Structure 1
Amino acid sequence: MRLVRFIERHILATLVSLSVLLRFPFFFRDYIDKDESTFILMGQAWVDGFLPYTLLWDLKPPLVFLYFAKIIYLFGKSLLAIRFFGAVIVGFNGYILYRIARNHTSSLYALTLGVFTIYFQSLFGSVQGVMSEHLGLFPVLLGSYLLVEKHSYFWGSLLFSFGLYFKLNIAYGMLLAYPFLFAQRRAELKQMISGCFLGGTIATLITGIWFINNTSLFIESVFYAPLAYTKATISQQLKTFLSILPAFILLTWLFKKYPKHRFYSLFTVGVLFSLIRLGKVNGHYLLQVYPFMILLVGILIYELKRKVSPKMVLILLMVIPIESYKETWGLLKYHDNTGYWYNGEGHEIARFLKAHNLDKNTAYYTDYHIGYWLTNNRPLTKVVTHPSNIERPELFPFMRVNDSMPIAVLEELLTNQKPEIIITKSRKNFKDAVLESKLTSTLKQNYQQIKSVGSALIYKRK
């Protein structure tokens, strides 16, 4: 028993170390995805005493912001800490997948699947930051292990419910997978129903307790706003469906071939359906799909008894992290040229503003909005917490802003609040031509450009 525990601890340590190693070169970037910068701002506001959705607003459940708030509270304004612990969570995700796979394959083969889980969460697309999908996968994977593999219905459902408050779209997967589990395990139906009800209730109470004095804001922001956001057109949904059709075909075949693994295939189908309803597939959305796809395809290959060359697998594992190698080389070159490790326009803008005593001035960022945090600032209105939200008027009612049109919000920001500093992209800032025209005319009339930093332009009010 001691030997088994020793081995398991070392496997966990190895997977976590691998995750940190793969992701470490990206710890110093200003941002990899705008969502991460937004989560940081929301977390900082919580640390400063403002609950999510009150001072600032974003379209994510509150447990995402709680992670960032806790890290900032414990370690201060440290991107290193935020991304290090994010890498640790990714390592744990790989370990849990390994534990699930070990029940259906050999230990060595399961470990390989755990490694691939970490790779797919770290190397493809804009996934090297800390995304809500990374955080939400931890309770989902652990919940799957307890619920499906260990028949622990209360703890499994509790974790799944917590996962829901990281990433709401897993509800689609749960709505498909849970009824199947109920039907498959009729002898344990009472335990399952009571465990699911109790686990879901406790998770909701723990999450919602922060909003006990403002339950309507919690319900509107967490549940109603995502429904308004996901009203995609038929053409957008059809395009999304066609792009992920191969995955549906594969999952349908796996569903038929492996009856005992249908919980995993149904859950994945449900998550994919949520992407169709949304009408788009970003790289980080697929993070929720990868683990169970890796598990199911891995079991398929294992049961086909196909011999896989260890040398080939090792070579593959060495070659795949090309993004990490490139980022490491770029990081070293940047440090050699500038003397700084932290790189990207966001960091350079912050250093420039601090050097010229402009960091205390009010600011508006159309991009690189991690700059708010790096200069101890915050957005002037909750609508621009995430820069693109100004072009999503369907979300304005949930932010409880007075204006209903994007141009009215921008005019209020530029004309009445009059930010002393404006940071824009050198290219187009808005999809909406009216917003772009208003920003351009305001900059020409009231601001002067004082610096260009990479793809960013810094303007100061005249």
Structure 2
Amino acid sequence: MLKVLITASLFHASNYKNLNWKTVFLILFLVALVIRFPFFFRDYIDRDESTFIIMAQSWVDGFLPYTKLWDLKPPITFLFFAVVISVFGKSFIAIRLAGVVLVVITALFTYKIGTKITSKKVSFWSAVFCVFLQSLFGSLQGVMSEHICTMFFVLGVYILLSKQHLAWYFFTGILFGLSVMSKLNMAYALLAIGVYFIWKAFHEKQLWHGFQRLFVMGVAFVLLVVSTAIPYYLQGDITIWWQSIFEAPLAYSGSKQHSFLKTLPFVFIILGLLYTGFALKLIDSRSKQLQLLTVITIGILLSFMQAGKVNGHYLIQLYPFIIVPVGMAVSRFPIINKKYNGIVVVLLVLLPMEAYLEYVNVVSNKMEKGTFFNGEGIDVPRYIVENEIETKNIFFTEYHIGYWVLNETPPTKASTHPSSITRDELFPFMKNPRKTGMEELRYILEVVQPKTIVARKGKKIFDKKLEDFNSYIDVYLENNYALVKTIEGGLIYQRLE
């Protein structure tokens, strides 16, 4: 009801004139909280989020990322989760609330960027839809590395558009460094900004002015990146920092079978929309602010092409920079007749249907099981604890957030993220004793010999294309383990004596 009243009241143009950032923040926070709150109680929403939590917990326990556990992400992503865990303890609610804060700050500064280019009305609705788009559909209700890197990048872009002193450019470089060290592909957007600044300096014949700002920003960026290496240097393990953050992603990217051609339809659609907006003068191509947002968009699209795919959570990085130009273009369309305002309000309220369904799921789980927290990543560990099942060297091939719930760790470094076991190209950079995925899997099952293995019902343990891995583990489970319990989609196997 609150959201309906807020939405309805803002259709009146006079209500935007005195709109200030505090009011916008409050509205965005309420919208984000309503949409994301029911997912506070879900065990996991994306496997990557579970891995970030496990890596962060290891850091909180005193082990730098990549030393005891390993994952293919830069360290600032793990640091974000580690800070939340350090302050609030092991809390799903705290982590998901931190996700709300990320989304709201990103949307708020999307609004502030918009006010540098267009009206408060367009800026406000761009921010609202930024919340929607970062919170709905697929795995976006979790806390993804894209949420983290995008927040830092949007803050940096806002400063570029609003501040001129060199000290602010230094701070912007720090923010861009935090963004890239949360998700490396944001380097493409940063490179696009650098090229634009150089072009602009030549075009406006302000080479020294442009060089100063780029230099200061670049120095700050490098200092931030280098600062993440200091703990490893002090520990005498600088090579694992370099290999894990820079060499491993390059090797992984080079080994993938995804073709950039698969991304072309999406890329052409986005670029086509921008071109149409400029060509029809729905948006002003002479606006320096819009030029900057456009080059950032192009940089992000190039990173998608390099990856060869466009996953739903990748788009989190794109939304804040494309949504303001889109909002400006839409605002040039004929005004909707007031008699249709009610329909628009209803559509906006129905948009987060995914969240409403999750509210029902949370309430149903409370009535059935006595707790709001739900999902096999919670139910399976609860069953294991209640029935005193052995957890030493437990191996989660699915629902691996269960390690965190049980206060356990993965049996080996390479098994931190279950899919990493099958990525032979990553093993040279892990400082792992085994050199191939099959060797690692054999070691886990035949040497470590976990007493308990957790798998997922109706799904192959590894990607269905990996027939050799699946054949081996299926036969090994059949000969050496017994299925003792099925909990919804979770399968609990116990090793035979």
Q: Give TM class, smaller chain.
A: over 0.9
Q: Which residue of 2 aligns with 1:180?
A: 196
What is residue 283 of structure 1 aligned with on the other side? 312
Residue 335 (structure 2) aligns with:
307
Pick closer, same or farther for the CA change 1:445–1:235 going to 2, 3 Å: closer
CA distance in 1, matches of 2:432, 2:58: 18
Greater displacement, 87-96 / 187-196:
187-196
The residue aligned with 2:296 is 267
* Equivalent position to 2:225, from 204, 208, 215: 204
Any residues of structure 2 matched to 1:113-192 within 5 Å, and which?
113-151=126-164, 152-185=168-201, 186-187=205-206, 188-192=209-213
Quick check: 2:149–2:186 contact (8 Å CA) kept in 1? no
Gapped runs of 5+ residues in structure 2? 1-16
Aligned 1:20-419 pairs, distance under 5 A: 20-151=33-164, 152-185=168-201, 186-187=205-206, 188-212=209-233, 213-231=236-254, 236-254=259-277, 258-259=285-286, 260=288, 261-302=290-331, 304=332, 306-308=334-336, 311-358=342-389, 360-419=391-450
Aligned length: 458
The alignment status of 1:461 with 2:495, answered yes or no, reads yes
Matched residues in 2 for 1:92 and 1:85: separation? Answer: 11
Give yes or no for contact 1:251–1:269 (8 Å, CA) kept in 2: no
1:56–1:381 Cα contact (<8 Å) kept: yes
Code of the aligned partner of 2:351:
I
- Give the deviation of 1:175 after TM superposition: 1.3
Cα offsets for 1:18-60 (capped at 9, x unmatched): 2122100001111110000000000000001000000000111
Give the superposition deviation at 1:10. Answer: 2.6
Local SS of the residue matching 1:53: coil
Would the aligned equivalents of 1:19 and 1:91 in 2 still touch at CA under 8 Å? yes
Distance in 2 (CA, whole Å) between partners of 1:13 and 1:262 is 30
**Quick one: structure 1 residues 321 and 456, their matched pair in 2 at CA, closer, same or farther if it must change by over 3 Å?**
same
Tell me by how many angstroms 1:253 deviates.
4.4
In 2: Cα distance, 1:346 partner to 1:5 partner: 47
Shift of 1:330: 1.3
TM-score of the aligned structures, taking structure 2 as reference length: 0.88
Letter in 2 for 1:104: I
Kept after mapping to 2: 8 A contact 1:232/1:278: no
CA shift in 2, pair 1:339/1:287, >3 Å: same
Superposed CA deviations along residues 313-357 of structure 1, whole A, max 9, x for unmatched, are: 433321211111111111111211111111011111011011011
**Are residues 116 and 235 of structure 1, via their aligned partners in 2, closer, same or farther at CA, if it must alter by over 3 Å?**
closer
For 1:58-100, what per-residue CA distance to the aligned partner results, in whole angstroms no more than 9, with x for missing partners? 1111000001111111111101001111111111111000000
Give 2:29's aligned amino acid.
V
Q: Which moved more, 1:113-122 or 1:437-446?
A: 437-446
Aligned-partner SS, 2:260: helix
Q: Over aligned residue pairs, what C-alpha RMSD do you find? A: 2.0
What residue number does 1:430 align with?
462
Is the contact between residue 122 and residue 324 of structure 2 (CA under 8 Å) also seen in structure 1?
Answer: no
CA contact (8 A) 2:71 2:417 kept: yes
Q: Distance in 1 between matches of 2:371 and 2:153?
A: 38
Identity across the alignment (%): 38
Q: Which amino acid aligns with 1:50?
A: F
Distance 2:404 2:100 in 1: 21
Stretches of structure 1 lacking an aligned partner (at least 5 in a row): none
Asked if the contact 1:425–1:455 (Cα under 8 Å) also holds between the matched residues in 2, the reply is: yes
Aligned-pair CA distance for 1:425? 1.5
Secondary structure of 1:231's match? helix
Cα distance in 1 between the residues matched to 2:481 and 2:404: 23
Moved over 3 A (4+): 4-7, 232-235, 251-257, 308-313
Q: Distance in 1 between matches of 2:274 and 2:159?
A: 23
User: Do residues 442 (structure 1) and 476 (structure 2) align?
Assistant: yes
Report the Cα offset of residue 252 of structure 1.
4.3
Distance 1:84 1:315, change over 3 A: same
Separation (CA, whole Å) in 2 of partners of 1:255 and 1:153: 29
1:6 to 1:112, Cα distance in 2 relative to 1, 3 A:
closer
Looking at structure 2, the residues matched to 376 and 233 of structure 1 have their Cα atoms a distance apart, in angstroms, of: 34
Provide the TM-score with structure 1 as the length reference.
Answer: 0.94
Partners of 2:103 and 2:131 within 8 A in 1: yes
Letter in 2 for 1:307: I
